[in-house]
Amino acid sequence: MLRTLQKKGAGMRSITWLNVAWSARNSLEQAVREAVQTAMRDSENPVLALIFSAGDWDREALAQTLTAELGSLPWCGCTATAVFANRKVLTSGLALGVLNAPDMSVGIGLAGTAGASPLAVGGAAVARAIDHLPPLSHPNATGVTSNRAIILFADTFNGSGTDTVRGAVREGGTSVCWAGGGVGGLGRASGRMALLANGRAFLDRAIALAIDLPAPIGSGMAHGFTPQGPALTVTSARDKIVHQLEYRPAIDLYEQIAHGRSASLDGDRLAVHRIEHTFGIPQADGEYVLREPVRAREDGALEFVSSIPEGAIVRLMRSTPDSLIEGARHAARAARARLKASPGGALVFDCDARFLSLGDDFSKELDAIAEALGEDVPILGCTSYGEIGALGCGFPQFHNKTVHVMALPGEESLS
């Protein structure tokens, strides 16, 4: 089953338009062929394809089949737990978008090897992507509405997301619009999630997609969590393992604050509790960058998706299904508000943990995003193992349990 949306209206100048298609066919070849053909059918100025895949297809076969169907059109993407095209959510299938833009410049950069420095990997991927673009003649100092965007796909399976994003931002700067997601979960049968670009599937890499447009790009991030309990000092930590909070085993304080009692968590109980609770690092503007605990260790430590530095101040954060959905609505509203034109499409990166937490209500989160952007705005996205972008007035960072919406400028009146 497939769907795509219509092109620009009369009397309007098109800046970008995202044609979206999806397929849930079991056959890899049939799914790719039908999705590509549907997305390309109404494409007049195709410059880029974005691909998100869920399910058990062989990663290399998927990448090769996509290149065979897309031909010389540049493309990149990733595999994920779930993918979505407009309001359709798939845990097995393909979501594909073709960007049409007569005045868009595109660059794709790949970097990394197993064991390489994440800082160097992120920086090299971005440098190779922007090498394909003309120099920015008038950089926008406000950051979130820059005419340049960098979308970063990073392998975060080993907890390297924070440093990979730091390296990328060092190279690309903060005056561009950042988006993207981490790829780090496990597929049901296909092994680790993978990055995809131009005929290949990759692990332990980063892919940067850089685009220049003649109009501002909108960006919005939110999570819907609020602080619960006092501020805590991380008194012992290394990489993504927090051993102590306030000189006590991290698990003890987590349980005490979250549930009003002192008892150590085992792994199964943590998996249940972290649906509602996570940790937040306070920012100067009052926002919180979230860090997701994923494992309770026997020594009383907590293991996180990404690193928390020793000496950091953290607070326990809490959410409800309604607050998560409202967070997504806020992100979409913020992205649309930062556009100067009507939206021509949106890219959404939504945390795996939010998808699992909301369950059947995840469709309500997509509904909220669609309503905030506009009912006819094409949406393409996937779940991610960490989200990339700027929250509030902050600088671009690696986030957990957050949703990011990037709105692309669509149409301007010719009058």
Q: What is the mean pLDDT of residues 63-68?
A: 97
Name the residue with higher pLDDT: 324 or 56: 324
| Residue 396 forms part of a structural domain | yes
Q: Are 302 and 242 in contact (CB under 8 A)?
A: yes
Report, as an integer, the average pLDDT of 143-167. Answer: 84
pLDDT of residue 270: 54
Q: Give me the domain span that covers residue 110.
A: 12-222+323-413
- The answer to whether residues 122 and 112 touch, using CB atoms and an 8 Å cutoff, is no
Rounded Cα–Cα distance for residues 51 and 184 (Å): 17
Domain boundary among 318, 345, 378: 318
Confidence (pLDDT) at 142: 39
pTM for the whole structure: 0.91
Rounded Cα distance between 57 and 35, Å, is 15
Provide the pairing of β-strand 195-197 with 177-183.
unpaired
**Are 352 and 367 in a shared domain?**
yes
Domain stops at, among 318, 346, 361: 318
The confidence band for 4, taking pLDDT boundaries of 50, 70 and 90, is: very low
The pLDDT of residue 158 is: 83
Q: How many domains does the chain have?
A: 2
pLDDT grade for 277, boundaries at 50, 70 and 90: confident
| Residue range 199-216: mean pLDDT, rounded | 94
Whether 250 shows a pLDDT value over 50: the answer reads: yes
pLDDT beyond 90 at 209: yes
Residues 198 and 337 in one domain: yes
What is the predicted pLDDT for the residue at 160?
87
Task: List, in order, residues 6 or more apart from 229 with CB less than 8 Å away.
Answer: 257, 258, 315, 316
Asked whether residue 92 falls in the same domain as residue 210, the answer is yes
Q: How many CA atoms lie within 13 A of 249 on its CB side?
A: 14
What's the rounded Cα separation, in Å, for the pair 11 and 23?
A: 33
Instruction: Name the amino acid, one letter, at 37.
Output: Q
Q: Is residue 1 part of a domain?
A: no
Question: What pLDDT shows up at residue 35?
Answer: 97
- Of the residues 267, 300, 318, which one is the last residue of a structural domain? 318
Residue pair 169/120 in contact (Cβ under 8 Å)? The answer is no
Residue 372: alpha-carbon gap to chain centroid: 18
Position 255 pLDDT exceeds 60: yes
Q: Tokens 């800046």 correspond to what residue?
A: 15
pLDDT recorded at residue 5: 40
